[in-house]
Structure 1
Amino acid sequence: MTVLLLRLAGPLQAWGASARFVRRTTESAPTKSGVIGLLAAAQGLDRAADTGLARLAALRFGVRIDQPGTRVRDFQTAHHAVTGKSMPLSERFYLADAVFTAALEGDPVLLSDLDEALRRPAHPLFLGRRSCPPAVPVELGIRDTVLQQALEDEPWQAADWYQRLRRRDRTVPLSVLREPDPGAEEPRGDFQRDQPLSFAAEHRRHALRPVISTTVEVANPRAVPARRPATVGPGGSVPRHEPFDALEEESL
């Protein structure tokens, strides 16, 4: 199998799966519809191009939470462009300083085309909303492996400062949310309504998709080896330290 890997990192991200009206929430990890939308923008697909969307939506999707970030809330105001009338106050949620590794498994020819499109995108890329541009290049390349293995093998993508916070740990556990392997018997997971059926403005539609939660262990490149206590003598005994000995010697 072939897997395309993406690094999703930016000051702000927003991956809504059930946003309604003036309250726009975000999931704790990228949604499949959001990532497929990013790929469609890179290819320059029209919103009404359901055929092109169907090819992208057929890819098997998974995401690893490398750096969970912090959920923040913002209030936004707007005025009607023609009448100037004030629009309702909207409440919007974002993920700040988050980093994810996303993976898509499927047709190697399609994935190769997508990898090339990400390097020269037809439209600007954003992380869920137009106000959330990526901070680093999105593409991580193509791997000749399966989805789960790709998410296990890929190096930890968290920021340097975040990795240093875990410098005592040689490996770190990371959560993975992925679609089940159709060729294997796996435990039943949850369902999320983010399987895109149409991005057309007049009839956006999404279906439920199964999601399995797992955990992988990745190496921490910022890990610091534990220090061994100083030893003396052939027996390797720890030297005796008594600070009051200095006072006794001075009194003599």
Structure 2
Amino acid sequence: MITADTTENGSNPTDPDHQLVLLLRLAGALQSWGDRSAFNRRETRPEPTKSGVLGLLAAAAGRHREASLADLMDLRLGIRVDQPGTLLRDYHTVSDYRGRPLLQAGVSAKGVQRPTSPPKPTHITQRFYLQDAVFVAAVAGPQPLLESLEVAVRRPAFPLALGRRSCVPTQPVWLGLRSGALQDVLRDEPWQASQHVRQAFTRRNKKRPDRIDLSATLDDSEGDDVLHDVPVSFDPRNRRFTSRRVRHTWLSVPTGFPPADGPETPEATGTGTGTGTSAHDPFALLGW
């Protein structure tokens, strides 16, 4: 017998231990997910970091950098690569607007930076980005927390970013809440690639396959890889991170195309995003 406090599978949605999965579509012209930096080099990982995804959720919820992350740290993360994108190196030069020589990176025993010797008026810096990439992030955790984060993502308090503040996401970021295991939810969610990739896929596959194999990385205490990207504090004066174990796998995901002999639809021809949203999206002209 199913009561008002239970679902068909017997779970209790009011139980704080009941787990849900929040799905996010992370796509945009540029993304940058750095987990390490040098003085003049800012790299990006090939897929979103946990610190980047939790930072996006914290911004949506209106949390300041000094706020506690204790409840977010325990959320489990899965990342599916729907469109890997390509690496972009952005070339920068830095100089002092006053015309003075730049300072050395190191400091003296008194904590003072000395001018470069011989004097160096300009320095080269490098920034790396992912361009033309699309990911699906699945965040699993207690139902009350996930429901509050879902509302926050739909109506964010602070602007959302794909790693760096300058990397703006396209719509929709929010894909919804799901029940089920992290891997199963990622496997069941239709392919979220951008318009031009879906068009190219249909040109190469005249029969329009109903599934596609995509790589994924999931939090797993028994995983054989370790990533040092779990944020303990975003406080600029006390930034700290810890490690997590992950597992890499492949998932067979529905493409969202109808059978080859079925009717033509925007998803089948690649003229839609496959996301089911009708909201205005300024990235639409770029094929996102």
TM-score by length of 1: 0.81
Structural mapping, 1:136-155, within 5 Å: 136-155=171-190
> Which runs of no fewer than 5 residues in structure 2 stay unpaired?
1-18, 101-120, 262-288
The reply on whether 1:70 has 2:83 as its aligned counterpart is: no
The reply on whether 1:21 has 2:72 as its aligned counterpart is: no
- Larger-Rg structure: 1
Bigger mean CA offset, 19-28 vs 99-108: 19-28
| 2:229 corresponds to | 194
Could you tell me how far apart the structure 1 residues matched to 2:96 and 2:78 are? 39
Q: 1:222 to 1:161 in 2, by over 3 A?
A: farther
> Which runs of no fewer than 5 residues in structure 1 stay unpaired?
227-252
Match of 1:36, as an amino acid?
L
Q: Give the secondary-structure state (helix, strand or coil) at the position aligned to 1:210.
A: strand
Structure 1 residue 90 displacement after superposition: 1.5
Preserved CA contact (<8 Å) 1:164 1:222: no
> Which of 74, 80, 84 is matched with 1:58 structurally?
74
Could you tell me how far apart the structure 1 residues matched to 2:255 and 2:176 are? 21
Match of 1:10, as an amino acid?
G
Structural mapping, 1:225-240, within 5 Å: 225=260
| 2:130 corresponds to | 95
Aligned length in residues: 218
Structure 1 residue 137 displacement after superposition: 2.5
| 1:46 corresponds to | 64
Preserved CA contact (<8 Å) 2:86 2:133: yes
| 1:135 corresponds to | 170
Preserved CA contact (<8 Å) 1:66 1:100: yes
| 1:159 corresponds to | 194
The reply on whether 1:220 has 2:255 as its aligned counterpart is: yes
Preserved CA contact (<8 Å) 1:166 1:223: no
| 1:179 corresponds to | 219
Render the CA deviation track for 1:113-149: whole Å, top value 9, x for unaligned. 1110111111111100011000112111100112111
Could you tell me how far apart the structure 2 residues matched to 1:128 and 1:80 are? 27
Report the RMSD for the aligned CA atoms in angstroms. 1.9
The reply on whether 1:7 has 2:25 as its aligned counterpart is: yes
Identity of aligned residues (%): 47
Preserved CA contact (<8 Å) 1:32 1:61: yes
